[in-house]
A and B are shown apart, each in its own frame.
Chain A
Amino acid sequence: NAGVTQTPKFQVLKTGQSMTLQCAQDMNHEYMSWYRQDPGMGLRLIHYSVGAGITDQGEVPNGYNVSRSTTEDFPLRLLSAAPSQTSVYFCASRETGGKRARHNSPLHFGNGTRLTVT
């Protein structure tokens, strides 16, 4: 199994450009999420999804859109990139076990995307 796959690994954007960070998982996890990691601030939740067709906002959603059309994919869209969005982005998924949630199941992370906005 590949686990959680993120593409691209690196990206440089100019202010105002748009792009989509891709995330796919092959573990049939219902829960998927996006975090950004900034120095001294840990990981902050941007958006998350508990299943296909269901998304919700995390702690820092502004400037980002998500959709979840399939269980496997959870893309993150930057509509108009800003220098404040320079960060490392992680996609993560976890097993929620259907009717019985797996309360101890950990997040499985992708390898991250390093985004620079100039």
Chain B
Amino acid sequence: AQKITQTQPGMFVQEKEAVTLDCTYDTSDPSYGLFWYKQPSSGEMIFLIYQGSYDQQNATEGRYSLNFQKARKSANLVISASQLGDSAMYFCAMREGPIQGAQKLVFGQGTRLTINP
């Protein structure tokens, strides 16, 4: 079974609009972390934002915020005031494993976001 599911293979958004990229996860571990990465057409992987399972508030980093709904097991990425440079592939990932042991990151399939001028 998929541990990380990104249901939107592609999204098209007008410049300056806000966009929400969906991510749902599956784990029975009470301690976990969720990461979002951006992969532009040049291919590098860029870390955007992190949310821990025990964090009381939703994470924010500049124009990026994470809509964390623990009961629904969802961790959607919200990009406010989208820009042309936001066009890229976006990956959601979950850290699993014991805090003092090996912790692996499992990735979703990705969502390709295209910002239209």
One of B33, B35, B52, B109 near A41 (C-beta < 8 A): B109
B25 to chain A minimum Cβ distance, whole angstroms, is 13
Q: Which of A40, A45, A106 contacts B104 (CB 8 A)?
A: A45
For A112, the chain B residues whose CB sits under 8 A away are 43-44
Complex Cα spacing A46 to B66, Å = 28
Determine how close the nearest CB of chain A comes to the CB of B110; give it in whole angstroms: 5
Interchain CB contact under 8 A, B50 and A45: no
User: Which chain A residue lies CB-closest to B54?
Assistant: A103
| A53 on interface, CB distance cutoff 8 Å | no
Contact between B103 and A40, CB atoms less than 8 A apart = no
- CA distance in complex: A33, B97 (Å): 15
Interface residues of A in 41-92 (CB under 8 A from B): 41-45, 48, 50, 56, 58-59, 88, 90, 92
Write the residues of chain B forming the contact surface with A, with a CB cutoff of 8 angstroms: 4, 6, 9, 31, 33, 35, 43-45, 47, 50, 52, 91, 93, 95, 99-110
Interface residues of A (CB under 8 A from B): 31, 33, 35, 40-45, 48, 50, 56, 58-59, 88, 90, 92, 96, 99, 101, 103-104, 106-109, 111-112
